[in-house]
């Protein structure tokens, strides 16, 4: 039995289908990332797990118990908000102790037990020297840790995180990502992490749920989702720069820019597809060269190639080259629905 189960969850705001039929199981101890562009319903979905929104239809189970009608406080979840939502009128200690004080009515923590728990959690997150400060006296990274400490201190069944890294500057973010993952692994807590940032999703997630237009597009490990996208949306949403998609009369097909290399560099040319590639522009990005150009026969579809800089092949603007993609790196999609389809014959298409 999975820890969290969502069955046929729907949420409509007037006529807008924010979440439109979600089936999802979250396993104990896993780090699940919900990834999607803004407005895809991922935050609404998380708010429904937390109990802050009531689903229009469907049921939510946490630990085997149907919690669909329960208020947030009876669900055993805690949440880190995008803005952290620290209480500005309390110092850090009281912020972290706030959920414990709520529980203390039933579980009878005394003052000492609360103090011990707060201090332990604070030490774990290395904010124990900040306990007397007010939230506005803290930096962005410190606030984020306080928010996580407040969410963790009650040892919830599920920790929900709503884009907690998006308010940090880029330098801190990589560091915070690493610490968050380390922390989740060591405490073995189940985490659901909502983000629109694919790097965060790939780096943190044990599994990724890709969402768009209120529906799940694909669920899988980061590698599966990247290498084996279920449809055109997932294929183009992940990866930077995103997958090249070319259209033929019968179907679409795509390949990632980093698999699109000069023919001389291809591992085994006999298993590769050769394209005639016209280079329009070259961007030198340090570790890579990013080529903008067109594949012969697809003059309206901008195609990118990402060639490592350490490969000493001269690639000049306004020239034609032979580029190759390994057959297994070419993905085929249905032209209408965008779903993945079987390998098609490319003969005569390019």
Partner 1 sequence: MALLIWILHNFWSLLVLSFATLVGLRIAYRFRRYGATRAELSHILRRSPFYLVVLIFCFFAAAPFLIMFLHSFKVDGDLYRRPQPFVFRQDPTLEHLESLFTNTAYLDFIRNSVVVGVAVVIITLILALPAAYALARLTGRWGERAGILMFLVYLVPPTLLFIPMFRIVVMLGLKDSPLALIVVYPSFTVPFSMWLLQGFFKAVPPELEEAALVDGYNRVEAFLRVVLPLSLPGIISTIVFTFTLTLHEFIYALVFITNTSRRTLSVGVPTELILGDVYFWQPLLAAALIIAIPVGFAYNLFLDSLVQGFTMGAVKG
- Residues in contact with partner 1 by CB under 8 A are 50-52, 71-73, 77-79, 81-83, 85, 87-89, 98-99, 102-103, 150, 154
CA neighbor of 55 nearest in space, from 214, 251, 208, 166: 214
> Is the CB of 107 or the CB of 123 nearer to partner 1?
107
- Residue at token pair 């000049």: 316
Distance, CA of 180 to CA of 195 (rounded, Å): 14
Q: What is the dihedral of CA 295, 300, 301, 303, to 10 degrees?
A: 50
In angstroms, what is the minimal distance from the CB of 234 to partner 1? 31
In angstroms, what is the minimal distance from the CB of 134 to partner 1? 13
CA neighbor of 10 nearest in space, from 198, 214, 267: 214
> Is the CB of 102 or the CB of 313 nearer to partner 1?
102
- Strands (E) across 63-110 are located at 65-66, 77-80
In angstroms, what is the minimal distance from the CB of 241 to partner 1? 35
Backbone angles phi and psi of 76, in degrees to 5: 70, 30
> Is the CB of 150 or the CB of 256 nearer to partner 1?
150
> Is the CB of 79 or the CB of 125 nearer to partner 1?
79
> Is the CB of 2 or the CB of 82 nearer to partner 1?
82
Distance, CA of 325 to CA of 97 (rounded, Å): 57
In angstroms, what is the minimal distance from the CB of 106 to partner 1? 9
In angstroms, what is the minimal distance from the CB of 15 to partner 1? 14
Name the pairing type of β-strands 207-212 and 31-35. parallel
Distance, CA of 329 to CA of 22 (rounded, Å): 30
In angstroms, what is the minimal distance from the CB of 105 to partner 1? 9
261-262 β-sheet, strand order: 261-262, 319-326, 272-284, 288-295, 298-308
In angstroms, what is the minimal distance from the CB of 194 to partner 1? 14
In angstroms, what is the minimal distance from the CB of 180 to partner 1? 19
> Is the CB of 87 or the CB of 308 nearer to partner 1?
87
> Is the CB of 71 or the CB of 348 nearer to partner 1?
71
Q: Is the four-CA dihedral 166, 168, 170, 173 of positive or negative sign?
A: negative
Question: What does the radius of gyration of the chain's CA atoms come to, in whole angstroms?
Answer: 24
Distance, CA of 280 to CA of 84 (rounded, Å): 46
Question: What token pair was written down for 202?
Answer: 């790939």
Residues 6+ apart with CB under 8 A from 284: 290, 309
| 92-107 vs 111-124: helix crossing angle, rounded to 10 | 130
> Is the CB of 156 or the CB of 239 nearer to partner 1?
156
């Amino acid at each position: 039995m999975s820890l969290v189960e969502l069955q046929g969850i729907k949420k409509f705001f007037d006529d807008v289908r924010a979440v439109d039929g979600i089936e999802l199981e979250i396993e104990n101890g896993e780090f699940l990332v919900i990834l999607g562009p803004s407005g895809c319903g991922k935050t609404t979905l998380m708010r429904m797990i937390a109990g802050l929104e009531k689903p229009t239809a469907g049921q939510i189970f946490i630990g085997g118990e149907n919690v669909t009608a329960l208020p947030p406080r009876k669900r055993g979840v805690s949440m880190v908000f995008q803005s952290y939502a620290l209480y500005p009128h309390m110092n850090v200690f009281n912020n972290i102790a706030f959920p414990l004080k709520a529980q203390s009515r039933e579980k009878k923590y005394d003052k000492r037990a609360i103090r011990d728990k707060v201090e332990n959690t604070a030490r774990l997150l290395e904010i124990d020297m900040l306990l007397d400060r007010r939230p506005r006296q803290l930096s962005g990274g410190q606030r984020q840790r306080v928010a996580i400490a407040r969410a963790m201190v009650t040892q919830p069944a599920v920790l929900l995180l709503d884009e907690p890294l998006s308010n940090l500057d880029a330098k801190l973010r990589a560091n915070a990502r690493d610490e968050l993952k380390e922390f989740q692994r060591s405490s073995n807590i189940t985490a659901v992490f909502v983000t629109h940032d694919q790097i965060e999703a790939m780096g943190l997630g044990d599994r990724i749920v890709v969402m768009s237009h209120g529906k799940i597009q694909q669920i899988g490990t980061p590698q599966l989702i990247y290498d084996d996208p279920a449809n055109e949306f997932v294929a183009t949403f992940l990866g930077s720069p995103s997958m090249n998609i070319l259209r033929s009369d019968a179907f679409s097909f795509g390949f990632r820019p980093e698999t699109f290399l000069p023919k001389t560099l291809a591992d085994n040319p006999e298993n590769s597809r050769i394209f005639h590639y016209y280079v329009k522009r070259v961007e030198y990005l340090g570790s890579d060269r990013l080529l903008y150009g067109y594949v012969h026969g697809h003059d309206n579809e901008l195609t990118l190639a990402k060639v490592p800089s350490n490969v000493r092949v001269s690639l000049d603007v306004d020239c034609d080259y032979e580029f190759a993609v390994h057959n297994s790196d070419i993905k085929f999609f249905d032209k209408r629905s965008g779903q993945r389809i079987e390998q098609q014959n490319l003969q005569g298409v390019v």
